[in-house]
Amino acid sequence: GAVVSQHPSRVICKSGTSVKIECRSLDFQATTMFWYRQFPKQSLMLMATSNEGSKATYEQGVEKDKFLINHASLTLSTLTVTSAHPEDSSFYICSAPGQGNQPQHFGDGTRLSIL
């Protein structure tokens, strides 16, 4: 079964809207979670590393004021795309390292479409 739950799976909204995406670790605690973005026919690109109880670490070129990350608990990280525009339309995917030495597991992703 899924070890990382991501919601919603799909969002369609108007330009200027802010959209919040949730990523939950199921049955385990994750002090770190990762947020990736994937444009059509491209690979996953890391946007930021979410750290429980502290500020997220953003990759070069990712606007931290536009992509707000909150990791307030050991099982939940949220990504808020503020004032989304059509160019933000993409597939957003979160992941969390597994327990012990287990590899990262990915959420099912969120397809964001901004009209």
Partner 1 sequence: QKEVEQNSGPLSVPEGAIASLNCTYSDRGSQSFFWYRQYSGKSPELIMFIYSNGDKEDGRFTAQLNKASQYVSLLIRDSQPSDSATYLCAVAFTGTASKLTFGTGTRLQVTL
Give the interface with partner 1 as residue ranges (CB under 8 A): 6, 32, 34, 42-46, 49, 91, 93, 95, 97-98, 101-109, 111
| Residue closer to partner 1 (CB basis): 20 or 111 | 111
Of 16 and 74, which CB lies nearer to partner 1 in the complex structure? Answer: 74
* Residue 67 CB, nearest approach to partner 1 (Å): 16
Say which residue the tokens 């670490």 belong to: 57
Written as six digits, the tokens of 60 are: 């070069």
Q: Is 88 helix (H, G, I), strand (E, B) or coil?
A: helix
Alpha-carbon span 74 to 85, nearest angstrom: 31
